[in-house]
Amino acid sequence: MLEAEKTYEHILFEQDGLVARVTMNRPNKRNALSLEHMQELISCFKEIGERRDAAVVILRGEGSAFCAGHDLSEMIGRDPEFYRHIFDVCCELMETIREIPQPVLAQVHATATAAGCQLAATCDLVVASEEARFATPGVRIGLFCSTPMVALSRSVGQKKSMEMLLTGDFISAEEALAEGLVNRVVASEDLEGVARSLAERIAEASPLVVGVGKQAFYRQLDMPTEQAYAYTKEVMSFNATFADAQEGMCAFLEKRKPEWKGR
């Protein structure tokens, strides 16, 4: 039995065709990220990353919130080593989402706050319902959202991310769309269908090529332009030698649907 098919305590895993779905399943805690919850998510995402039968991942939350951030009940009266461990594991979760070859799409139906906002911002794509709201409110309880700031400031402009971090105020799904945190905003009844449709559209491409492209995208972001072109030129030259690239180009010229080989 594959690791991602085992029974988890805090998450659910399903796969339908090429689309994997990970559901945070702590509705009574608003899907707050306890240490065990984060560790389960890391384990599940790493297992998905090793699979070749999953091309895209949808991350969603059960209940009244997408994710309410860290589980504060774990964070009272602890020593510095515990806090360091909590944030180490949180960073590992975010890095795992970025490192696996499959694009991860956040399906945000309600509030995403603090590390929950960080989680959405970390995902490669975000589809939100009209009811979704986003905030980094740590400053209001004396714990500035410093690690959420990393993902937020790389998705949203400097002024808006600073405003969110300094005030802790919510922004609407529509404002999140305008600021670049969200790809699409849809009616709540359409959310699951739109997320699924987008995932299936991505899954039409070669998963091997998509994985190469995802990795290259994040690596080139912080490079100077000249270095980025030098790096991506090499990536694209290597990509062109793939059987899937040759098949895709031939299929385009022959006006037929490509048959991906995964190599």
What is the model's pLDDT at position 5? 58
Q: Is residue 261 part of a domain?
A: no
What is the model's pLDDT at position 7? 83
Please give the residue range of the domain that contains residue 221.
207-253
Are 227 and 193 within one domain?
no
Question: What does the alpha-carbon distance between residue 114 and residue 54 come to, in Å, rounded to a whole number?
Answer: 29
Question: What does the alpha-carbon distance between residue 42 and residue 44 come to, in Å, rounded to a whole number?
Answer: 5
Q: Tens place of pLDDT for every residue, the chain, 263 residues?
A: 344 456 899 999 999 999 999 999 999 999 999 999 999 999 999 999 999 999 999 999 999 999 999 999 999 999 999 999 999 999 999 999 999 999 999 999 999 999 999 999 999 999 999 999 999 999 999 999 999 999 999 999 999 999 999 999 999 999 999 999 999 999 999 999 999 999 999 999 999 999 999 999 999 998 999 999 999 999 999 999 999 999 999 999 999 999 999 89
Q: Is 134 helix (H, G, I), strand (E, B) or coil?
A: strand
Q: Is residue 218 part of a domain?
A: yes
Question: What does the alpha-carbon distance between residue 36 and residue 39 come to, in Å, rounded to a whole number?
Answer: 5
Question: From the centroid of its chain, how far is CA 185?
Answer: 16
Question: What does the alpha-carbon distance between residue 57 and residue 203 come to, in Å, rounded to a whole number?
Answer: 10
* Number of compact structural domains in the chain: 2
Among positive and negative, which fits the CA dihedral 127, 94, 171, 75? positive
Contact 100, 116 (CB under 8 A): no
Half-sphere exposure of 48 (CA within 13 A, CB side): 31
Are 194 and 234 within one domain?
no
Q: For the domain that residue 73 is a member of, what is the CATH number?
A: 3.90.226.10
Predicted structure pTM score: 0.94
Are 191 and 231 within one domain?
no
Are 218 and 95 within one domain?
no
Are 66 and 139 within one domain?
yes
Are 226 and 119 within one domain?
no
DSSP string, 137-159: GGGGGT---HHHHHHHHTTS-HH
Task: Render pLDDT for 89-132 as a digit per residue (tens, 0 to 9).
Answer: 999 999 999 999 999 999 999 999 999 999 999 999 999 999 99
What torsion, rounded to 10 degrees, do the Cα atoms 218, 223, 224, 230 define?
-80
Are 159 and 48 within one domain?
yes
Q: Buried b vs exposed e over 142-165: b needs ≥16 C-beta within 10 Å?
A: eeebebbbebbbebbeeebbebbb
What is the model's pLDDT at position 1? 35
Are 65 and 193 within one domain?
yes
